[in-house]
Amino acid sequence: MASDMKKSNRRLRAISLIALAAGAMTLSACVSPVAGPSGVYAKPIGNAPVTANPTAYSDALVCMGSYARKHNLASPRMAVGRISDYTGKVEYEGGRKITQGASLMAMTALAKSGARQVERFDTSVSELELKYANNKLITDNETANPTEAGDYRKIMAGQIAGSDFHIVGGITELNYNIRSSGIDAYVGDTDAQDTKGIVNGRLYVMNVALDLRLVDTRTLEVVDVISYQKQIIGREIKAGVFDFFNGNIFDVSAGEGGLEPMQLAVRALIERATLEFMANLYGVSGPDICLNPKDDFLNDATLGKTGGFTPAYDNLETNNAGTREDPSRWHNTSNRSSGNGRY
């Protein structure tokens, strides 16, 4: 009987070694030290299409922009300044915990609301071209002879549109573990050789907050101030089994966890604040403008969850806000299981 046990153990070890070798060969087959015909060592995984990135307030922003255009509510010219991260929180490996692109999120939110915008965040290209134009080095006529007089770009007084209001502020809070709860359960026999099991569960809450202000560009008067916070929830569940079998140790565990996207929470905060700013500037009554079933304002061809745009050509039937939100538009599906090699 002892010999049978030894044979069984040897058989299990052999099977384990074969399984490990097969796994190693499978992994090594994914990466080659020699570049293939396409010029790459390995093909990146993943082929998910690009999708819109809305928050719970995106529909309301689009609705407000459509409402303003339908009722001829003129938008003041808006600009966005620095919306900085003032939390001071950094990762262990370096880098900020909170996005440094809050100003860009505010610009997108303004576009969704149909606001007229002028660029004040990054004017480096415009300033350089203005400098070149001032030195008569730029022409707008591609077919002109650069040696001929008068071909350079003229600088006209008042050619740059000014802003009426601008948004500035910052992300001011990032609080970890406002509250957490959990459970640990361990089940097993007192015999060291018997099966043991463990289950862990965790819930925890954190929050992020920002403070924004709307400033009259001409007078520098602060005309509107908003402070919001949003809580973020995370969860973690893990279960495992530990056992001995014929002298072999088996330790199997599985888990699942998730954290509400922190940067998406920042976008939601900015969209909510922008919504309130623009509601004040448009003079709308409130959320009721989007709740009347007789009026469907979510149909402006130039406003959508991806932002807003000014059409360059009369082609809104095929190139509009709705088509920009379509994940299949422009996406190469030739490698997907459907087999349709279309864009």
Which tens digit of pLDDT belongs to each residue from 229-285?
999 988 888 777 766 666 666 666 777 777 788 999 999 999 999 999 999 999 998
Check pLDDT > 80 for residue 112. yes
Assigned token pair, 269 = 């905060």
Query: Quick one: which of 305, 299, 302 has its CA closest to 325?
Result: 305
Residue 242's identity, in one-letter code, is F
Assigned token pair, 72 = 């001829």
Tokens 């929830």 sit on residue:
233
- The contacts of residue 257 (CB under 8 Å, 6+ apart) are 234, 235, 236, 237
Mean pLDDT score of the chain: 83
Can you tell me whether residue 312 is helix, strand or coil?
A: coil
Question: Highest-confidence range of 11-15, 128-132, 137-141, 308-312, by mean pLDDT?
Answer: 128-132
Residue 161 has a pLDDT of: 95
Element (H, E) at 9: helix 2-30
Assigned token pair, 300 = 């402006």
Q: Is the dihedral of CA 132, 133, 135, 136 positive or negative?
A: positive
Residue 1 has a pLDDT of: 53
Q: Is 63 or 240 the better-scoring residue by pLDDT? A: 63
Which tens digit of pLDDT belongs to each residue from 140-175?
887 656 556 568 888 999 999 999 999 999 999 999
Q: What is the DSSP string of 56-94?
A: TTHHHHHHHHHHHHHTT-PPPEEEEEEEEE-S--B-TTS
Residue 78 has a pLDDT of: 97
